[in-house]
Structure 1
């Protein structure tokens, strides 16, 4: 499982283990699974798509701006706003 955190300036919005997250990067959407290579990207306004399980129905959150970082601990999205 991939550890995923979504953080805004106001609060920690999510901290959970999921199957996959699709991030709206400024150079295009990218999917992150467990074991993804380390990467940092800016985030554009768009849909963050969270798959809790393989083949499960996705959950979509709207994010505005920010950064995404993938490292050995998982994926952290620092968004200016999330809804």
Structure 2
């Protein structure tokens, strides 16, 4: 699925991913390929990009509040601000 992470200043991430973990206002949740369409509010926290199924490759970002939209196998994350966290692996 395609993931885009956007801030008011720039596009932080764009590419094909296996999934993404997001800090929703009611708790952490994960979006994988072919997820049902949805819109959700996000709180400040850690966003984790899962680049492959084995989760051996990932990237993390510390985000401020925002929103996520899932539609037609595309995930668009709109946040007030974000900075890369430790991109381990």
- Bin for the TM-score computed over the shorter chain: over 0.9
Rounded to whole Å, the distance in 2 between the matches of 1:26 and 1:53 is 26
Rounded to whole Å, the distance in 1 between the matches of 2:73 and 2:49 is 17
Rounded to whole Å, the distance in 1 between the matches of 2:8 and 2:53 is 30
Contact 2:36 2:70 in 1 (8 A): yes
TM-score by length of 2: 0.87
| CA drift at 1:43 | 0.6
Structure with the higher fraction of residues in strand conformation: 1
- Alignment gaps of 5+ in structure 1: none
| CA drift at 1:58 | 2.7
How does 1:27-66 map onto structure 2 within 5 Å? 27-55=26-54, 56-66=56-66
- Alignment gaps of 5+ in structure 2: 84-89
How does 1:4-83 map onto structure 2 within 5 Å? 4-55=3-54, 56-83=56-83
| CA drift at 1:57 | 3.5
Rounded to whole Å, the distance in 2 between the matches of 1:47 and 1:54 is 19
List, as ranges, runs of 4+ consecutive aligned residues in structure 1 with deviation greater than 6 Å. Answer: none
Matched length:
82
